[in-house]
Chains A and B, each alone.
Chain A
Amino acid sequence: MKGKKKYQPWLYSSPAMILIGIIIVFPILYTGFISLTNMNLFHWLDYRVIGLENFKRALFKVDSGFLKALLTTLLWTAVNMALQLVLSYFIALGLNAPGLKLRRLYKTLLMFPWAMPAYVSILLWRVGMFNTEFGLFNKCLSALGLSKVNFLSENIPAFLSCMILNLWMALPFMIMMIDGALQSIDKCYYESAKLDGAGFWKQNLHITIPFIKPIMAPAVIMTTFTTFKQFDIFYLLTMQKGAYTGATIQTIITYAHQNAFVSNNYGLSSAVSIIIFGIIIALSLFTNRGVKETGEMALRKKGGAYDKA
Chain B
Amino acid sequence: MKKIVKAMLCVLLIMSLAGCSRNNTVSSVKEPEVTGSETGENQDSKEATETKPVELKIWHDGDEAIMGIIQTSLNESLKDKKITVNFEKKAGLTDQIKLYGTDAANGPDMYLYAHDSVGMFAEMGILAPITDVIGDESLSELLPMTVQAGTYKEKKYQLPVYFETLLFLYNKDLWKGEVPNTTEELYQYMKENTDTAAGTYAVVNQHSTAYNVSPFINGFGGFILSAEGEPGLNNAATKEAIDYNKKFAALQADGDYNTVTTLFNEGKAAAIIGGPWLISGIKEAGINLGYKSLADFTLPNGRNLAPFAGVQGVCVMKYAAEAKKDAIGEVLKTLAGKELGAELAKKSNCAPANVKAYEDTEVAANEMVVTMKQTAETAQPMPNIPQLTVMWAPTESLLAAVNKSGEDLDKAADKYQQEALTAIADMQ
Q: Any chain B CB within 8 A of the CB of A44?
A: yes
Q: Is the CB of B209 within 8 A of A41?
A: no
Q: Is the CB of A148 within 8 A of B427?
A: no
Could you tell me the distance in whole angstroms from the C-beta of B164 to the nearest C-beta in chain A?
15
Contact of B259 among A12, A131, A242, A246 (CB under 8 A): A131
CB neighbors of A among B216-249 (8 A): none
Contact of B393 among A245, A247, A258 (CB under 8 A): A258
CA distance A148 to B198 in the complex (A): 10
B401 — nearest CB in chain A belongs to which residue?
A246
* Chain B residues with CB under 8 A of A11: 13
Please encode chain B, from 188 to 200, with 1 for each CB lying within 8 Å of some chain A CB and 0 for all others.
0000000011010
Q: Any chain A CB within 8 A of the CB of B145?
A: no
Contact of B257 among A15, A40, A153, A243 (CB under 8 A): A243
CA distance A154 to B254 in the complex (A): 13
* Chain B residues with CB under 8 A of A242: 206, 209, 211, 257, 392, 396
Q: A15-B16, A247-B405 are in contact. Are A262 and B124 (CB under 8 A)?
A: no
CB neighbors of A among B353-377 (8 A): none
The A interface is mostly helix, strand or loop, or mixed, namely loop
Q: Any chain A CB within 8 A of the CB of B280?
A: no
Q: A11-B13, A41-B124 are in contact. Are A134 and B426 (CB under 8 A)?
A: no
Q: Any chain B CB within 8 A of the CB of A42?
A: yes
Q: Is the CB of B199 within 8 A of A133?
A: yes
Contact of B124 among A45, A132, A260 (CB under 8 A): A45
Interface residues on B, range: 35 or more
Q: Any chain A CB within 8 A of the CB of B17?
A: yes
* Chain A residues with CB under 8 A of B141: none
Q: Any chain A CB within 8 A of the CB of B309?
A: no
* Chain B residues with CB under 8 A of A127: 258
Contact of B389 among A12, A133, A247, A264 (CB under 8 A): A264
Q: Any chain B CB within 8 A of the CB of A72?
A: no
* Chain A residues with CB under 8 A of B281: none
Q: Is the CB of A41 within 8 A of B405?
A: no
B258, B403, B405, most chain A CB atoms within 10 A: B405
CA distance A246 to B13 in the complex (A): 57
A15 — nearest CB in chain B belongs to which residue?
B16
* Chain B residues with CB under 8 A of A259: 422-423, 426
CA distance A242 to B397 in the complex (A): 10
Count chain A residues whose beta carbon lies closer than 8 angstroms to a beta carbon of B. 37
B12 — nearest CB in chain A belongs to which residue?
A15
* Chain A residues with CB under 8 A of B403: 246
Q: Any chain B CB within 8 A of the CB of A2?
A: no
B126 — nearest CB in chain A belongs to which residue?
A44
Please encode chain A, from 11 to 55, with 1 for each CB lying within 8 Å of some chain B CB and 0 for all others.
110010010000000000000000000001110110000000000
* Chain B residues with CB under 8 A of A241: 392-393, 396
Q: Any chain A CB within 8 A of the CB of B263?
A: yes
* Chain A residues with CB under 8 A of B199: 133
* Chain B residues with CB under 8 A of A150: 254, 404
CA distance A154 to B20 in the complex (A): 55
* Chain A residues with CB under 8 A of B427: 40-42, 263-265
| Residues of A near any B CB (own CB < 8 A) | 11-12, 15, 18, 40-42, 44-45, 57, 127, 131-134, 142, 147-148, 150, 153-154, 241-248, 258-260, 262-265, 268
The 10 closest A-B pairs by CB, nearest first: A246-B404, A246-B405, A244-B400, A44-B124, A153-B404, A246-B400, A132-B254, A263-B426, A244-B396, A263-B427
Could you jot down 20 A-B contacts, CB within 8 Å?
A: A11-B13, A45-B125, A57-B426, A127-B258, A133-B254, A134-B259, A148-B196, A153-B404, A242-B209, A242-B257, A244-B397, A244-B399, A244-B400, A244-B404, A247-B405, A248-B401, A262-B389, A262-B393, A262-B423, A263-B389
- Given known contacts A242-B396, A264-B389, what 11 new A-B pairs fall within 8 Å (CB)? A12-B9, A40-B428, A150-B254, A243-B256, A244-B396, A244-B399, A245-B400, A247-B405, A263-B389, A263-B423, A265-B428
